[in-house]
Amino acid sequence: MTEQEAEYAGDLFGVDPTPGIVAVERAGDRGIRIYHRTHDGVREQLVEFTPWLVVDAETVPNLPRQMSTTLLDGDGRLRVRCDAPNWAAWLDVYRWLREAGRPFATFTSAADQYLVDSGRGLFRGISFDTVVRAQIDIETLGLDPTVEGARILLVTAAINGESAIVFRGDELSEPDMIRALTAWLQSNDPDVIEGHNIFNFDLPYLIERARRYHLELEWGRDGSPVRVGGEQRFKAGARSIPYNAARIYGRHLVDTYQQIQRYDTAGQLSSYALKPAIRALGLARHDRTYVAGVDITAAWDHDRERLIHYAIDDVLDVNVLSELALPTEFYQTRILPRGLQSVATGGPGEKINDLMLRAYLSRGYSIPTPGPPRGYPGGYTELRRTGRFSPVVKCDIESLYPSIMLVDDIRPASDELGMFVPMLGVLTKRRLQAKRREQQSTGHDRAQWRGIQTSFKVLINSFYGYLGYSRGYFNDYDAAERVTLRGQDLIQNIVVQLESNGSRAIEVDTDGVFFEPPADVRTLASEEALVARVSETLPTGINLAHDGRFLGMLSLRLKNYALLGYDGTVTLKGSGLRSRREERFLGQFLHDEVARHLAPDQFGDPRQAYLDLAERIIDGRLGVDDVSRIETITDQTFISPATRRLAEAVHGERIGERVAVYERADGSLARASAFDDDANSSYLLRRLRDFAERFRPLYATDQEFHYTFPIVTQRTDLATLRAARPTSQLTLFDLTN
DNA sequence: TACTGTGGCCGTGGGA
DNA sequence: TCCCACGGCCAC
């Protein structure tokens, strides 16, 4: 590392590498308590702390409380740092600033303020498996802790997936179970407490049951009870999902129900419930015990040992999900001035804000205010050809936007100190190092380097988006636009070169191109050579890579295509071909039709399969799992007219839940659980035909398409339709019109 | 002050 | 019947 890189690394990671800090909390009005994990347990340290805010010069004379002020360097609008005499004064000023609508910068958490000030961070020098994580799970009578007969049957817990323990409702009274859990937690002294849906179920249930015995969940490192916050939101990709926040002094709460949603960026999982998620990820233990939610009461009465095994399996599965999804957040926490719980629930824009604020304030520099939002162009997309292609190569520009920012030195205009691009550069370099270490190592080391590597990747990928983030202190829409327009130039130039080399470009999207290579390019090596020749023409620091080769491709619409791998696997891409919302029978239909069109000799006749499925609909032979679709409950569900029928079907459901519904013969929607063999066949036939429309680009003429996928209604004579000949005119098959 | 970005396809339902 | 706005989900 050069001297300059070391300097920027200090800005990026904070200047104080003190290892082993596992928690930081406010202590009284002017103090901070730091918990260090050492070889013989956790040690406490108390330090003095002055809460602060940064405001603009005009605001200072009007502040409602006396503060000591410092003028910061530079031209940022927020150039006066105010140090508060105590936390109460800070809170007064903070509330006043919000109320008055004045611009300011601070952190609502004293711990985060301390971490920014000190340059320290959590978990430095320790790895994920060093941290003590407790998994907990409860089995209860019913889901509502307030109703008659509600009670906790079992509490199970484990430490890092081991030493599982059970507190049984037939051996302990309910309050004693709660006391036993608290004692177990205090003696194991975990840094992290984990559960699946712990925020919205286990904690509220436990708190309510405890309240009935005048107990509190005294789980804090200082013995304080779990504090319930208001409704907060966790960020998972583009979605922001509300939950009942809670905090524990000196520890971090992690909900694997949330973490697995953040982990599932590709949207592969159809359910985020514990058992389906574990199964879909291929992580189920073969000897795992299952008890359905509705059977828990019966199992408690008649098969208690089995229920206990099931409950233990549940906490072990919580650990499995945590080991999968949490390391990325854990290793980000080393870098960022905030705690694990906040890293694991917060959005990426705020994390880059953290980095920039810490870098500027540690140098005594002023902070700019966000520029007003405006739209700007994004990636270049073009559907150049539709139809069936073979063979197909995909190439893409590696890390397009980060590379452009590094190569062209594109940074916010307000970044006077020039920190943005060097921080991105250090992260990029460190990520490559970590990737190499990951490849060179095995076991726990490998898992650690993977965690580090992916945590860097998450931050790297956030830098571009930050430029267009409306609440980013250093946002810059002009800079964001320069990045995307440069990307458009680069990819369009690559298409020109590919075509001039005899390739036929099929689809272009932002940083990648699918193309048919020329006839003399048929091996991986020759494809790579072709891509490498194009790559050589690009600016230094911009690399084009071979990113996949396929036996076949169906190009249907922009961002909607299917791929046939050389190993025979079929992949569907795009909202029209794979969506969590589509009915299962339609998903199956799409998949099968794609296979039939990609390899017609292997998979049979599309027309016959279509008519078979239509017949099953007419005969009512599709089950509830086939005809129901998954709808996500959002803020809009109960507001928007476009989701009125859904709102009626799922009245009272929580935001963020996913509910299986189907359309009834009367046109209303109903929950799949209320299925009564009354699915709307006309609707299903129409849906089937709509889905067949996706394949229209594969047919040269309307006649051919209509012959393959004729319109079918409940009154259609399928026998006649099946017997019809392909040479006939379209109108002959439109028997119902 | 606990909201990374744009581009695009498709279904719904209201209104012309 | 067509057009349009909007919401959800997806590709990148």
Does residue A579 register a pLDDT over 90? no
Q: What is the pLDDT of residue A674?
A: 87
Specify the residue for token string 């009465």: A301
pLDDT band of residue A447 (cuts 50, 70, 90) is: confident
Q: Are A707 and A607 in contact (CB under 8 A)?
A: yes
CB atoms within 10 A of CB A12: 21
| Mean pLDDT value of segment A440-449 | 90
CATH architecture of A128-326: 2-Layer Sandwich (3.30)
- List the A723 CA – C2 C1' distance (angstroms): 35
Q: What is the pLDDT of residues A336-369, one digit of tens each?
A: 999 999 999 999 999 999 999 999 999 999 999 9
- Estimate in Å the CA A209 to C1' C12 gap, whole number: 47
Closest CA to A139 of A347, A309, A9, A346: A309
Q: How confident is the model at residue A735 (pLDDT cuts 50, 70, 90)?
A: very low
Q: Which one is the CATH code of A374-409+476-550: 3.90.1600.10, 3.40.50.300, 3.40.50.920, 3.60.60.10? A: 3.90.1600.10
What DSSP element (H or E) covers A413?
none
When pLDDT is averaged across residues A190-215 and rounded to a whole number, the result is 96
Of A692, A687, A625, A688, the closest CA to residue A662 belongs to A625
Indicate if the pLDDT at residue A267 is higher than 80.
Answer: no
Q: Which nucleotides of chain B does any protein CB come within 7 A of?
A: 1-14
Please tell me the predicted confidence (pLDDT) of residue A127: 93
Q: What is the dihedral angle through the alpha carbons of A47, A53, A57, A58, rounded to the nearest 10 degrees? A: -140
Question: A245 pLDDT exceeds 60?
Answer: yes
pLDDT at A737: 30
Confidence at A1, pLDDT banded by 50, 70, 90 = low
pLDDT above 90: residue A287 = no
Pinpoint the residues of chain A covered by CATH 3.30.420.10: 128-326
pLDDT recorded at residue A733 = 37
In window 584-613 of A, residues with CB < 7 A from nucleic chain B are none
Chain C bases closer than 7 angstroms to a protein Cβ? 5-12
Say whether A710 sits in a helix, a strand or coil: coil
Higher pLDDT: A153 or A295? It is A153
Name the segment(s) of chain A with CATH classification 3.30.342: 3-126
Average pLDDT over residues A254-271: 88
Rg (CA), chain A: 29
Q: What pTM was estimated for this model as a whole?
A: 0.94
Q: Where in chain A is the domain with CATH 3.90.1600.10?
A: 374-409+476-550
Residue A2 pLDDT class (50, 70, 90 cuts): low
pLDDT digit string, tens, across residues A535-550: 999 999 999 999 999 9
Q: At what angle do helices A681-692 and A606-618 cross, to 10 degrees?
A: 160
The pLDDT score that the predictor gives to residue A734 is 35
Per-residue flag: A466 CB under 7 A of strand B:
yes
Q: How far is the CA of A663 from the C1' of B16 (A)?
A: 29
Answer whether A366's CB lies under 8 Å from A77's CB. Answer: yes
**pLDDT, averaged across chain A:** 93
SS (H, E, C) A177-229: HHHHHHHHHHHHCCCEEEECCHHHHHHHHHHHHHHHCCCCCCCCCCCCCCEEE
Judge whether A495 and A513 are in contact, CB under 8 Å: yes
Backbone angles phi, psi at A273, to 5 degrees: -65, 155
Å: A590 CA to B13 C1': 26
User: What residues does CATH 1.10.132.60 cover in chain A?
Assistant: 578-735
Residues 509-538 of A with CB under 7 A from strand B: 510
Nearest-angstrom CA–CA distance, A132 and A190: 5
Count of other CB atoms within 10 angstroms of residue A621? 10
User: What are the beta bridge partners of residue A43?
Assistant: A36
Closest nucleotide to residue A107 (Cα to C1')? B1
Question: Is residue A729 over pLDDT 60?
Answer: no
**CATH code 3.90.1070 for A3-126:** no
Length of chain A (residues): 737
- Binned at pLDDT 50, 70 and 90, residue A518 comes out as very high
Looking only at the bridges linking them, the beta strands covering A31-38 and A239-247 are unpaired
As a rounded value in angstroms, the CA-to-C1' distance for A201 and B3 is: 25
Nearest to A263 by CA among A284, A286, A235, A290: A235
The nucleotide lying nearest A578 (C-alpha to C1') is C10
Whether nucleic acid strand B comes within 7 Å of the CB of A97, the answer is yes
For A593-651, the pLDDT digits (tens) are 999 999 888 888 899 999 999 999 999 999 999 999 988 888 888 888 888 888 888 88
* CATH no. of A578-735: 1.10.132.60
Distance A377 CA to B6 C1' (A): 6
The pLDDT, as a whole number, for residue A604 is 84
Confidence of residue A231 (pLDDT cuts 50, 70, 90): confident
Residue A726: per-residue pLDDT: 78
In this complex, the answer to whether residue A175 has its CB under 7 A from any atom of chain B, a nucleic strand, is: no
Contact indicator for A84, A29 with CB cutoff of 8 Å: no
Q: pLDDT tens-digit profile of A643-695?
A: 888 888 888 888 888 889 999 988 889 999 888 888 999 999 999 999 999 99
Residue A581's pLDDT is 87
